Amino acid sequence: MTIHLTPVQAAAVAELAEREGDLTLHQVERASHEPAARDVYATPSGTATGYRIAPDGALSPAGKSLPAD
């Protein structure tokens, strides 16, 4: 699956990875009529608790998400 990031989402992912270490990224598949940029979910390696990164780069705890390896 392809993950689409806005420039500010990419910056937020980089900052989060610097703080948390390796991340697993997830994005809910979008319908064909929706814009490409959507929320991205990042889970630090070895955990099941992640973060939501909005298209505007806002980072918020997402609670339990898909576990990372």
pLDDT band for 66, please (50, 70, 90 cuts).
low
Residue 48 lies in a domain: yes
pLDDT band for 65, please (50, 70, 90 cuts).
low
Residue 34 lies in a domain: yes
How many domains would you assign to the chain? 1
Residues of the chain with pLDDT > 70, as a percent, come to: 80
Q: Which residue has the tokens 């390696």?
A: 45
Question: CA dist 12 to 19, 20, 34, 46, Å?
Answer: 11, 12, 22, 20
> How far is Cα of residue 37 from the mean position of the Cα atoms in its chain?
11
Top-confidence residue, 50 or 29:
50
Residue 23 lies in a domain: yes
34-63 pLDDT per residue, tens: 665 688 999 999 888 899 999 999 999 987
pTM for this entry: 0.80
Residue 2 lies in a domain: no
